[in-house]
Amino acid sequence: MRLIIFDVDGTLTRSTTVDTLCYERAVSAQLAVPIDTEWSSYRNPTDAGILSEILERHGIPESPSCLAAVRHRFLRILSAALATDPHCCREVPGAAAVIEYLRELPDLQLAIATGAWADSACMKLRHANILTEQLPLASSDDSPSREQILRIALQRAAARAGREFDVVTYVGDALWDLSAARYWGFRFVGIACDNDGSQFRSAGATVVFPDFADRDAFVRPLLTS
């Protein structure tokens, strides 16, 4: 039995630009502080991890009500942005079809592991018409750490399948995804829809695709041992 875990932003959905913009707006409006949008500079580059570190950098005490207020504001801003410009969040070419195809294969489970908050990830997936509603999902609501989010996605998928997996692959678009996959000894497939993928190759990742347009090419390395 194999498990394939997908990241969301930049992997299944072309939503990184709108996501960054809305996140920045929400945090600035709620906390009235400037924010550094170089996400790789944060210890945990996830919605929850970045927010914690912004609070820490500005000496603002972290409280459940503060976190909830930013999260709520972000979701409102994101929802309005998607309604205003429906094209700001599209599927990465072929993503919806590949998920639909993989869901039907025997001896294979799918799961979602995203650094976004769950409501945000689901909103973007729905908007891009990618059908993932019934799949196990772990998000920034579970942990600020991408490694832990990945572990929780694995646990939920194993609980769903009623058994452990022989091979686990994480499909992601960022070096932090590669690093999280390596942390657990998972295989990694890079999606480089906005660049030439050289960042992955320099980091030693050997399986990289621009998108999912060539479904068979994408699926082949996932299903061979």
- Report the nearest approach of Mg ion to the CB of residue 174 (Å): 5
Residue 28, CA distances (Å) to 41, 69, 73, 121 in order: 18, 12, 11, 21
Distance from the first to the final alpha carbon of the chain: 11
158 versus 189: smaller Cβ distance to Mg ion: 189
Note whether 53 binds Mg ion by CB under 5 A. Answer: no
Sign of the torsion angle spanned by Cα atoms 140, 50, 188, 17: positive
173 is an interface residue for Mg ion by CB under 5 A: yes
The residue from 10, 49, 136, 144 that contacts Mg ion (CB under 5 A) is: 10
- Choices 9-17, 94-102, 155-163, 198-206 (CB under 5 A): range interacting with Mg ion: 9-17
Burial class of residue 91, CB neighbours in 10 A (0-12, 13-18, 19+): buried
Closest approach, Cβ 25 to Mg ion, in A, equals 19
CB 16 to Mg ion: min, Å: 7
Q: Is 7 in the site for Mg ion (CB under 5 A)?
A: yes
Shortest Å, Cβ 116 to Mg ion? 8
Cα distance between residue 62 and residue 79, in whole Å: 25
Which CB, 9 or 91, lies closer to Mg ion? Answer: 9
Reading the block at residue 7, the tokens are 């990241």
Please, what is the minimum distance in Å from the beta carbon of residue 143 to Mg ion? 16
Q: Contact, 109 vs 160, CB < 8 A?
A: yes
Q: How far is the CB of 197 from Mg ion (least distance, A)?
A: 14
**Residue among 2, 3, 4, 9 that touches Mg ion (CB under 5 A):** 9
Tell me whether residue 107 or residue 194 sits nearer to Mg ion (CB atom): 194
Q: Are 49 and 43 in contact (CB under 8 A)?
A: yes
As to burial, measured by CB atoms within 10 angstroms (0-12 exposed, 13-18 middle, 19+ buried), residue 69 is middle
Number of residues that bind Mg ion (CB under 5 A): 4
Residue numbers at the binding site for Mg ion (CB under 5 A):
7, 9-10, 173
